[in-house]
């Protein structure tokens, strides 16, 4: 069976079926003036109805209250389902009723004064009392108002038949007054209650409702159902948690609290449907929460019958957002502080360095012939060191000034940038017989022109500088990749061990000795800072030392390619 709870509907249908059998036979016995022999047969059929009725009624209560402990216990359920057959059998064999006698309203049987009728009364009474007990505890434990109402109606109809039945069947009998009301007419009140529940609260759809409840209780989104007047019907577990109620069994005060919070989020009986209204409130436990409330009307035909409110708890998200905002602010501040520090330090270092350099020059000039070879070597080392320090400071200054120097972005044609850089590097390129080729059109970007030149110069410069035995061959290409252009600078130089693919983009990090290849280790760090300031990315690929390498970077494609319409 696809729906394991559909069985509830079958149980309810069987219950009505047995009652129909019981009261149908009663009608025949009461109204058709049968002979006693036929009446005896009808009574036996009637007996099938009333013997089974209480069993199926109790079974229905077990499904209604979802009592798995008894339903899934074969030691209980098998003998329990066999009980009606025992009584039917006992009646067929004549151990229960004596047939037949005329009564004012038809033909009736008389209970025998034997053990089986007593056992039968015991069975009826026991399961009836058990049903009442289960309904009362179900009413207490369910979080759903409609289930509470089903329990109420069933309990009230039981109370009614108990009072009326006792009055007609016991008190009037005891007082010797003629009782015109047949027992199963009293039972009609009880069955009426069941039918009313089925109709009004869709008890026949109990199975699908319960399945939906299970799904509802598993989802993280809170769901609250309101009726047409905006008052609470039911809520899923998530909603109950969001409102900070300690238990799924809500109190009247908690119903009111939830209704009030939803009203604060603009959910009112006359209000319009709305999506994601933000509400900050203190939940029933006093914790601060931020929720998003959406509400939709439910319709019965054309008329609005109520509302479904979905609630998303964004308290965690809100807090994370605030934390993130704070961290970004802090990061920005410390970044700026660091840049300022680097700028001030390198700027202020320049002055004393210049002094060191000029005095070293002075010493060289004045005392060159007096110092001897060793002395001159020392002076040269000091001078070289100071020169290198000056280059490093210069690089650091450039690096820390990058952001400050960034102008408002303008349209920059990168093929023109490549042309300018190649022209400026003509001397060193000719020296090495280097050829730089541009493969296909290069795009126009929205960027700072000077920085684009710096970027191209560093990458082309490195490709020419880190060449092997062959004269350098460099190709530049750009391709559109979604919202970005991807540039690649491919060379046939010394290549890179991919183990160092991250390190080379860090400040002052170099892979080669200075006497082999000049440099400060700042070029790629500057390239990375430029590219990342536009939201792009830079990386290197190489098949290994001696195999050349390709430097890739991406830049946002804000403008069309040259020549593109």
What's the min distance (Å) between Cβ of 402 and ligand ADP? 14
Could you give phi then psi for residue 64, rounded to 5 degrees? -60, -40
What's the min distance (Å) between Cβ of 296 and ligand ADP? 59
By CB under 6 A, tell whether 466 contacts ligand ADP: yes
For residue 169, give every residue at least 6 positions away whose Cβ sits within 8 Å of its Cβ, in sequence order, or none: 179, 183, 186
What's the min distance (Å) between Cβ of 492 and ligand ADP? 10
By CB under 6 A, tell whether 491 contacts ligand ADP: yes
Tell me which stretch binds ligand ADP (CB under 6 A): 69-77, 380-388, 421-429, 492-500.
492-500
By CB under 6 A, tell whether 493 contacts ligand ADP: yes
User: Do residues 47 and 91 touch, judged by C-beta distance below 8 A?
Assistant: yes
Q: Would you state the structure tokens that stand for residue 152, as one six-digit string?
A: 């109420």
By CB under 6 A, tell whether 549 contacts ligand ADP: yes
For ligand ADP, which is the closer residue by CB, 78 or 513?
Answer: 513
34: helix, strand or coil: coil
By CB under 6 A, tell whether 472 contacts ligand ADP: no
Q: Which of 106, 117, 222, 519 binds ligand ADP (CB under 6 A)?
A: 519
By CB under 6 A, tell whether 392 contacts ligand ADP: no
By CB under 6 A, tell whether 455 contacts ligand ADP: no
Q: Specify which residues 491 forms β-bridges with.
A: 474
For ligand ADP, which is the closer residue by CB, 106 or 495?
Answer: 495
Pairing status of strand 222-227 against strand 106-111: unpaired
For ligand ADP, which is the closer residue by CB, 186 or 429?
Answer: 429
Per DSSP, the residues of 138-179 read HHHH---HHHHHHHHHHHHHHHHHHHHHIIIIIIHHHTT---
Q: Which of 496, 530, 531, 557 binds ligand ADP (CB under 6 A)?
A: 496
Site string for ligand ADP, 346-385 (x = CB under 6 A): ----------------------------------------
By CB under 6 A, tell whether 553 contacts ligand ADP: no
By CB under 6 A, tell whether 521 contacts ligand ADP: yes
User: Do residues 80 and 55 touch, judged by C-beta distance below 8 A?
Assistant: yes
- Among candidate residues 535, 343, 553, the one with its CA nearest the CA of residue 455: 553
**Residue 154 to residue 142: CA distance in whole angstroms:** 15
What's the min distance (Å) between Cβ of 546 and ligand ADP? 10
Torsion 324-325-328-331 (CA) sign: negative
For ligand ADP, which is the closer residue by CB, 96 or 524?
Answer: 524
Tell me which stretch binds ligand ADP (CB under 6 A): 74-82, 201-209, 378-386, 520-528.
520-528
For ligand ADP, which is the closer residue by CB, 454 or 462?
Answer: 462
Residues constituting the chain = 565
For ligand ADP, which is the closer residue by CB, 59 or 496?
Answer: 496
By CB under 6 A, tell whether 257 contacts ligand ADP: no
Burial of residue 531 (number of CB atoms within 10 Å: 0-12, 13-18, 19+): buried
For ligand ADP, which is the closer residue by CB, 398 or 446?
Answer: 398
Tell me which stretch binds ligand ADP (CB under 6 A): 27-35, 158-166, 203-211, 517-525.
517-525
What's the min distance (Å) between Cβ of 541 and ligand ADP? 11
For ligand ADP, which is the closer residue by CB, 401 or 446?
Answer: 401
Torsion 379-382-384-390 (CA) sign: negative
**Residue 245 to residue 251: CA distance in whole angstroms:** 9
For residue 26, give Cα distances in angstroms to 103, 124, 181, 195, 499.
13, 19, 12, 20, 95
Tell me which stretch binds ligand ADP (CB under 6 A): 44-52, 126-134, 379-387, 505-513.
505-513
HSE-up (13 A, CA, CB side) for residue 253: 5
Q: Which of 64, 97, 291, 494 binds ligand ADP (CB under 6 A)?
A: 494
- Among candidate residues 296, 29, 247, the one with its CA nearest the CA of residue 143: 247
Tell me which stretch binds ligand ADP (CB under 6 A): 30-38, 171-179, 372-380, 506-514.
506-514
By CB under 6 A, tell whether 487 contacts ligand ADP: no
375: helix, strand or coil: helix
Tell me which stretch binds ligand ADP (CB under 6 A): 250-258, 303-311, 488-496, 554-562.
488-496
Q: Which of 11, 265, 524, 538 binds ligand ADP (CB under 6 A)?
A: 524
For residue 193, give every residue at least 6 positions away whose Cβ sits within 8 Å of its Cβ, in sequence order, or none: 153, 154, 156, 157, 158, 160
By CB under 6 A, tell whether 523 contacts ligand ADP: yes
Which DSSP symbol is given to 395? H
Tell me which stretch binds ligand ADP (CB under 6 A): 96-104, 243-251, 275-283, 489-497.
489-497
For ligand ADP, which is the closer residue by CB, 54 or 392?
Answer: 392
For residue 387, give every residue at least 6 positions away whose Cβ sits within 8 Å of its Cβ, in sequence order, or none: 357
User: Do residues 295 and 273 touch, judged by C-beta distance below 8 A?
Assistant: yes
**Residue 511 to residue 494: CA distance in whole angstroms:** 11
Residues that bind ligand ADP (CB under 6 A): 458, 462-463, 466, 491, 493-494, 496, 504, 510-512, 519-525, 549
């Amino acid at each position: 069976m696809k729906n394991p709870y559909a069985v509830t509907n079958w149980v309810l249908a069987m219950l009505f079926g047995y009652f129909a059998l019981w009261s149908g036979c009663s009608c025949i016995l009461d109204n058709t003036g049968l002979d006693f022999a036929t009446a005896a047969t009808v009574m036996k059929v009637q007996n099938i109805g009333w013997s089974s009725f209480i069993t199926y009624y109790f079974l229905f209560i077990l499904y209604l209250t979802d009592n798995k402990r008894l339903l899934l216990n074969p030691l209980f359920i098998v003998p329990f389902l066999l009980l009606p057959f025992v009584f039917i059998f006992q009646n067929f064999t004549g151990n229960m009723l004596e047939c037949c006698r005329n009564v004012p309203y038809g033909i009736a049987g008389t209970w025998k004064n034997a053990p089986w009728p007593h056992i039968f009364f015991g069975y009826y009474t026991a399961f009836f009392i058990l049903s009442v007990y289960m309904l009362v505890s179900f009413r207490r434990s369910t979080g759903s108002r409609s289930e509470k109402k089903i329990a109420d109606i069933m309990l009230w109809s039981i109370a009614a038949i108990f009072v009326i039945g006792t009055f007609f069947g016991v008190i009037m009998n005891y007082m010797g007054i003629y009782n015109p009301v047949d027992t199963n007419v009293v039972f009609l009140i009880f069955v009426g209650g069941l039918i009313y529940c089925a109709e009004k609260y869709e008890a026949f759809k109990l199975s699908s409702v319960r399945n939906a409840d299970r799904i509802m209780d598993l989802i993280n989104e809170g769901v609250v159902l309101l009726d047409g007047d905006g008052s609470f019907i039911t809520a899923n577990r998530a909603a109950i948690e969001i409102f900070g109620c300690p238990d799924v069994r809500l109190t009247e005060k908690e119903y009111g609290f939830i209704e009030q919070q939803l009203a604060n989020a603009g959910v009112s009986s006359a209000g319009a449907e709305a999506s994601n209204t933000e509400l900050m409130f203190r939940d029933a436990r006093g914790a601060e929460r931020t929720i998003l409330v959406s509400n939709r009307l439910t319709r019965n035909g054309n008329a609005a019958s109520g509302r479904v409110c979905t609630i998303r708890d964004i308290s965690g998200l809100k807090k994370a957002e605030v934390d993130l905002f704070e961290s970004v602010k802090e990061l920005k501040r410390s970044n700026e502080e660091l840049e300022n520090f680097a700028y001030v330090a390198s700027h202020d270092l320049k002055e004393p360095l210049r002094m060191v350099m000029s005095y070293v020059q002075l010493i060289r000039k004045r005392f060159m012939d007096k110092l001897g070879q060793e002395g001159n070597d020392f002076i040269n080392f000091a001078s070289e060191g100071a020169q290198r320090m000056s280059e490093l400071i210069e690089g650091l200054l450039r690096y820390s000034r990058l952001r400050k120097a960034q102008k408002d972005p303008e349209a920059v044609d990168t093929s023109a940038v490549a042309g300018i850089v190649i022209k400026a590097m003509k001397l060193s390129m000719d020296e090495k017989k280097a050829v730089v080729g541009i493969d296909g059109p290069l795009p126009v970007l929205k960027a700072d022109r000077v920085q684009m030149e710096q970027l191209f110069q560093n990458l082309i410069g490195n490709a020419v500088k880190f060449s092997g035995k062959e004269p350098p061959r460099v190709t530049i290409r750009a391709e559109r990749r979604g919202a970005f252009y991807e540039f690649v600078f491919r060379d046939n130089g010394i290549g890179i061990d991919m183990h160092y693919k991250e390190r080379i983009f860090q400040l002052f990090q170099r892979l080669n000795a200075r006497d082999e290849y000049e440099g400060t280790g700042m070029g790629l760090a500057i390239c990375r800072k430029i590219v990342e300031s536009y939201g792009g990315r830079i990386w290197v690929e190489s098949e290994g030392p001696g195999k050349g390498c390709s430097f890739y970077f991406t830049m946002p494609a804000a403008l069309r390619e040259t020549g593109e319409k």
